[in-house]
Amino acid sequence: MRNKLKKYFHHENENFTLISHELNKHAKKQIAYEKASKGIEEEVSITVRFNISQFMTSLGNQFDNNVIDAYFKSASFKQQQGFKIEGNQISCTKTM
């Protein structure tokens, strides 16, 4: 049975990789905005928080909401450095 469903497992991993990339891109934009608004030019560690709904809106119709929810519950998200879910927000700490 697993062999018959193999392509679907791989497809989910592809989605998770793309969502992970989009999440990193969104976080970097938020961090750049935060640094610019505070006038910080040197490399520092910054924590930003943004609503999950804001991130989902930025994705548009690329992914079904169920896929995004599954990503946030997956090991792929938990292994991602610097990200965590805090209520209805995503917290991200990065050095940039």
pLDDT in tens, the chain (96 residues): 656 655 555 556 789 999 999 999 999 999 999 999 999 999 999 999 999 999 999 999 989 889 999 999 998 899 888 999 999 999 999 998
Determine the Cα–Cα distance for residues 8 and 2; give it in Å rounded to an integer: 10
Nearest to 27 by CA among 55, 60, 53: 55
> What is the strand order of the sheet 83-86 is part of?
45-51, 89-95, 83-86
Show Cβ contacts of residue 7 under 8 Å, excluding neighbours closer than 6 positions. Answer: none
SS3 54: helix
Total structural domains within the chain? 1
Q: For position 30, what pLDDT does the model report?
A: 95
Give the domain extent around 36: 2-95
